Amino acid sequence: MRAAAFEQALERFHRSLAHRPPSGFRGSAAFRARGLPWLGHDVGAGSASAGAGSASGDAGSVSTYEDWYLVDGWSAVGVLEEAAVARGHQSSHEAVAAITGATKGAIYRLIEGLPRVEQAPLAVWVKRAPGHAPVTVEDLLADGVDRDAVGLWRRCLGLGPAPEYCLLAAEPPAGVSPSRLPAGWRATAISRELLWSG
């Protein structure tokens, strides 16, 4: 399968949702991202549901993707699930599903900051060590990053091995460097390229 065909199909699906939004749907974004920590690939080109998938490129490389669907709450997740495969969205959903490789997903809730997923070219996926207290934006940012320009998301429901936290930012915060994280914590910063936002 070609990554370009997947990206076109993915954009059509997101456009379909934006054109006929289900109840409680507040927008979506899709990104190409390399090295998502839970997909097992080392190469690759309110509440939110973040999904990740892969598609083969022209030369056998693997491109990996993040999808974010912003919704009002838990009931809107079910409405979105049903609407995605119903009249008005079914053909665009089936086109993406037919050429999607491995997928993983999770539902994240915004716990601090702003929900501007489309404005964050960097996703820092954080796994805390067992027994540590939950993190705050201040824990991860350290000095010099504008708190109003980031969003800290926490996994509410895992549909695969997704990390517990995702910090969306414009630049790598000093607080997630290995020398600043508590013992046993891991942070993986992933650059993302916006493919769709609406």
N- to C-terminal Cα distance for the chain?
26
d(CA 58, CA 150): 35
36 against 45, higher pLDDT = 36
Q: For position 82, what pLDDT does the model report?
A: 95
94 against 182, higher pLDDT = 94
Decide if pLDDT at 68 tops 90.
yes
Decide if pLDDT at 99 tops 60.
yes
On whether the CB atoms of residues 174 and 143 are closer than 8 A, the answer is: yes
Please give the single-letter amino acid code of residue 182.
P
Q: How far is CA 118 from the centre of its chain?
A: 10
Tokens coding 179:
């020398």
pTM across the whole model? 0.83
Dihedral sign of CA atoms 55, 22, 15, 149 in order: negative
